[in-house]
């Protein structure tokens, strides 16, 4: 179950990143995917992954704010 969550989180992040130029809502989805991937990293104990994905989530939220 945890692996499935990780796959969905990462797929959401990558898919939204590919669609970001279609509208700011995809930047928000990307931020959500980054946060979900960070949560997956925390649940698996991959703390460097948590830090990196959290940074990406914050960057994406800031970009979403500017794009709106």
Q: What is the pLDDT of residue 37?
A: 97
Domain boundaries, the chain: 2-67
Q: Tell me the average pLDDT across 25-54.
A: 96
- Model-level pTM greater than 0.75? yes
Q: What is the pLDDT of residue 40?
A: 97
Which 3 state secondary structure label does DSSP give 5? helix
pLDDT at position 68 over 90: no
């Amino acid at each position: 179950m945890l692996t499935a969550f990780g796959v969905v989180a990462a797929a959401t992040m990558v898919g939204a990143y590919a669609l970001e130029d279609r509208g700011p809502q995809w930047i928000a989805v990307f931020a959500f995917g980054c946060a979900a991937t960070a949560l997956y990293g925390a649940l698996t104990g991959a703390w460097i992954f948590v830090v990196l994905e959290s940074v990406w989530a914050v960057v994406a939220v800031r970009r979403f704010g500017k794009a709106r």
